[in-house]
Amino acid sequence: MNKVTVYEKPTCTTCRKTVKLLNEKGIEFEKINYYVKPFTKNKLKTLLKKMDMKPSELLRKNDKAYKELDLKNKNLTETQLLDLMIENHDLVQRPIVEVGDKAVLARPVERIEELF
């Protein structure tokens, strides 16, 4: 089996549920706290491609940072959104689970079933 990687914020409830589910299934995985080890632009682009998503689809629209930056009222390109997500990790939906050439946004956590 390919290496399983969970990109998470440890204090996030959904991230903890994802980790619990993987542990219950006996699946070995690596956890990466992307607040400690931030995404590079290239890595986030790669994950988006594996999830078949655009930056706007991975954006945390209920987050304080989204509101403070008034992103709802700005007409930003996908590239500009990606750059903002690299600068401000709170704008990235989580957790992201990556296995080989596939990845999913584990919201809800059961979406990880698609990878196995």
Give catalytic residues, as residue numbers: 12
The gap from C-alpha 105 to its chain's centroid, in whole angstroms, comes to 6
What is the Cα–Cα distance from 57 to 49, expressed in whole angstroms?
A: 12
Two structure tokens written together for 99: 């296995």
Whether the Cβ atoms of residue 102 and residue 115 lie closer than 8 Å to each other: yes
**59 forms bridges with which residues in the sheet?**
92
Whether the Cβ atoms of residue 89 and residue 38 lie closer than 8 Å to each other: yes
